[in-house]
Amino acid sequence: MSDEQPTETKSYEPKELGREHSNKVVEFINRKAVSPNDACPVCGSPKNTVAHTAYKIEAQPAEGVPFSGVQMPLFATVCFDCGFVRLFSEMIVNHLIEQEEASKTTATVGGADGD
Ligand SMILES: [Zn+2]
């Protein structure tokens, strides 16, 4: 009997996006969207969803595009009415969400002298 080697796959295993994180991404995209409910650019339908999977694609690092190595992590939105899929940079979206949350905290905290 030979020892089974752990299978080393080169392919990326998609990871699941937690519901809370997924909701944050939905809210972020809706805030950024030019049209109400982030209508699909192909068919105009507002029936889009953020896929509950985070993806990665092979990519060469580009100046000003933050990702490490040769894989760019991505979020995807899917249109229920035509199937069009759009991809968003996970690192940029997460960074902007963190910035917004930090500025909210700064805006709501403070003012009290405390004693
Ligand atoms: Zn569509």
pLDDT at residue 109 greater than cutoff 80: no
pLDDT at residue 103 greater than cutoff 70: yes
48-83 residue pLDDT tens: 888 888 888 887 777 776 666 778 888 999 999 999
Cα 79 to middle of ligand 1, angstroms = 5
Cα 75 to middle of ligand 1, angstroms = 17
Cα 33 to middle of ligand 1, angstroms = 15
Cα 93 to middle of ligand 1, angstroms = 22
CA atoms lying within 13 Å on the CB side of residue 62: 5
Name the pTM for this structure: 0.70
Position 106 scores a pLDDT of 73
Cα 78 to middle of ligand 1, angstroms = 8
pLDDT at residue 3 greater than cutoff 70: no
11 vs 103 pLDDT, higher one: 103
pLDDT at residue 8 greater than cutoff 80: no
Question: What CA–CA distance (Å, rounded) separates 67 from 109?
Answer: 32
Please provide the DSSP assignment of 28-45 as one string: HHHHH-SSGGG--TTT--
